[in-house]
A and B are shown apart, each in its own frame.
Chain A
Amino acid sequence: MSNKSKKYAMLFDLRKCIGCNTCSIVCKSENDVPLSVWRAWVKKIEKGHYPHVREFSLPIVCNNCEDPICVTVCPVNAGIKRPDGIVYIDPHRCIGCRYCMASCPYGVRYINPRKKIAEKCYWCHHRVDAGLMPACVVTCPTGAILFGDLNDPESEIAQVIAKNAVHVIKPEMGTSPQTYYIGLDIEAVETVEEEK
């Protein structure tokens, strides 16, 4: 199904994101994600002191990196980088060693509590291959998520990325993430929960 001339990317326009978690929920039902784990979620942080407070949302999915460290370290070649850019895990091959989870800088992988193998977001490749958009893209109520082919100059995502200041999470990791953000807040990426 995959086409060599395609290069898929996803874009979150955080100016439009209202943090409603629709993407998290539709992902759960589309991909049959078990309880306690998530393929897509919205990290929320709060900045400032009352009354000058603002809440920021950061929707997180797999970055489907161009140079994915998870594929490099997988000992059984279960992580596969498709020519069109989607990184997916072969569920029949994964042995659940968790090395990909240990090396992923974004923490997007989890062990499926039922199957005991690694899983993550793969931009709904079953829908993309059928000519549909990923589930989170079609359900986002504000249209904040774009998905498409960067090699096609006519596609909406290619035009938006060409005309706007975009950023990715943790570019210093050298993985070339393909999930882009407009209006990414540095604090939303770097603030982590206090150790318990």
Chain B
Amino acid sequence: METQVLYNITHQETFGLFIAIYFYLTGLSAGSFILSTLSYGFGMEQYKPLGKVGVVLATILLIFAPLFLLFHIGAPYRAWHLFVYLNWSSPITWGSFLLVLYPINCIIYGIFMFKGNLKLTRLFGFIGIPLAISVHGYTGFILAFGKARALWNTAIMPILFLASAIVSGIALMILVCLIIGRFFSKEKTINKDLIFSLSKMLAWMIVFDLFLVGSDLLVLSISHSDAQAAFHLLLGGNFSFLFLVVENVLGKILPFILLVVPRFRNLVTVTIASILVVVGIFFMRYVVVLAGEFIPLL
């Protein structure tokens, strides 16, 4: 049956670019924090240089992230309502507390680390890990609770967000370690062992992330009609270039090849791969948020 819409009203976009940026920044922050606890929490000595870098990055990124929420909401002077009128069935209410507790914990953890109090650093590192996972995982729940949108409303969303958070966190950490080693350290040399062990970690996290994206797509392709529409939007519609080329080929598959093939392994390719990953994960957030609400509902 040939049908076409003659007249309809669609209202403006709901979650836009600012929310995508916010998700991206919390992801980077959570990833950096988890890397910083590898040595100070779990005692992996080879990652010791990451500790201080990680906690500083995590704190700075998470102080900037909520600013984008304030840009997004219509009535920012009413933001205090979030802490007074609580609705525990809403992920945003969970988030408003996580966004306060997590940076406070980051700062305490960082202060003890810089003072050299290893015991308390370890304690606040362990408190911080569930907070870091929650502060990014809850953003996955925000989208998963948007039950009208087939692309968002899947249980894989929080874990997909966490995997891409760790991927982008490792890539950012590689870049920061390269810059610090090259320009700001006393010896002006780069700690190659650290960079290559991080790049190995990054490569296998990319594989896990690709697996999650693939399983999400596979289930979308055989699910109900809205989900199939979302599947076609990602693979053949307006978002196919960003999704396939920028996010997955340039942002995941190419960096993976650069990182695992031994012939390519040097500092230049690691740098290129990390830049590609950091950019690619930004477009992952962008595609998930905007493609999810792209298809009209009625």
Asked if A60 and B11 sit within 8 Å, CB to CB, the answer is no
User: What total of chain A residues lie within 8 Å of the partner, measured CB to CB?
Assistant: 53
Say which one of A5-13, A39-47, A137-145, A160-168 lies at the interface with B.
A39-47
Asked if A95 and B146 sit within 8 Å, CB to CB, the answer is no
Asked if B74 and A117 sit within 8 Å, CB to CB, the answer is yes
Q: How would you classify the secondary structure of chain B's contact residues: helix, strand, loop or mixed?
A: loop
Among B1, B224, B225, B296, which residue has its beta carbon within 8 angstroms of that of A48?
Answer: B1
Cα A172 to Cα B204 in complex, Å, equals 39
A38 located at the interface, meaning its Cβ lies under 8 Å from any Cβ of chain B in the complex: yes
Cα A169 to Cα B297 in complex, Å, equals 11
Asked if A76 and B81 sit within 8 Å, CB to CB, the answer is yes
Q: How far is the CB of A20 from chain B (nearest CB, A)?
A: 12
B294 located at the interface, meaning its Cβ lies under 8 Å from any Cβ of chain A in the complex: yes
Cα A37 to Cα B9 in complex, Å, equals 8
Using C-beta atoms within 8 Å of the partner chain, give the interface range for chain B.
Answer: 35 or more
Asked if B85 and A76 sit within 8 Å, CB to CB, the answer is yes
Interface centre among B11, B84, B293 (most CB of A within 10 A): B11
Asked if A103 and B147 sit within 8 Å, CB to CB, the answer is yes
Within 8 A of A (CB), among B75-90: 75-76, 78-79, 81-82, 84-87, 89-90
B72 located at the interface, meaning its Cβ lies under 8 Å from any Cβ of chain A in the complex: yes
B5 located at the interface, meaning its Cβ lies under 8 Å from any Cβ of chain A in the complex: yes
Given known contacts A75-B87, A75-B96, A76-B81, A46 and B6 CB-to-CB distance under 8 angstroms: yes
Asked if A95 and B15 sit within 8 Å, CB to CB, the answer is no
Cα A94 to Cα B79 in complex, Å, equals 10
Asked if B3 and A191 sit within 8 Å, CB to CB, the answer is yes
Q: Mark B1-23, 1 if CB is under 8 A from A, else 0.
A: 11111111111101100000000
Chain A residues whose C-beta falls within 8 Å of the C-beta of B296 in the assembled complex: 107, 192-193
Q: Across the two chains, which residue of chain A brings its CB closest to B10?
A: A107
Asked if A43 and B5 sit within 8 Å, CB to CB, the answer is yes
Asked if A74 and B7 sit within 8 Å, CB to CB, the answer is no
Asked if A38 and B9 sit within 8 Å, CB to CB, the answer is yes
B237 located at the interface, meaning its Cβ lies under 8 Å from any Cβ of chain A in the complex: yes
Among B5, B86, B148, which residue has its beta carbon within 8 angstroms of that of A173?
Answer: B148
Asked if A47 and B75 sit within 8 Å, CB to CB, the answer is no
Asked if B11 and A46 sit within 8 Å, CB to CB, the answer is no
Q: How far is the CB of A126 from chain B (nearest CB, A)?
A: 22
Say which one of A108-116, A128-136, A147-155 lies at the interface with B.
A108-116
Give 19 new A-B contacts, CB below 8 A, not counting A46-B4, A189-B298: A43-B298, A44-B6, A72-B89, A73-B89, A73-B91, A75-B93, A77-B85, A93-B78, A95-B73, A96-B74, A98-B74, A102-B148, A103-B145, A103-B147, A106-B148, A174-B147, A190-B225, A192-B8, A192-B295
Interface residues of B (CB under 8 A from A): 1-12, 14-15, 69, 72-76, 78-79, 81-82, 84-87, 89-93, 96, 142, 145-149, 152, 224-225, 233, 237-238, 293-298
Please provide the 8 A-B residue pairs with the shortest distance between their CB atoms, ordered closest to farther. A96-B74, A116-B74, A75-B92, A105-B148, A102-B14, A110-B11, A44-B6, A192-B296
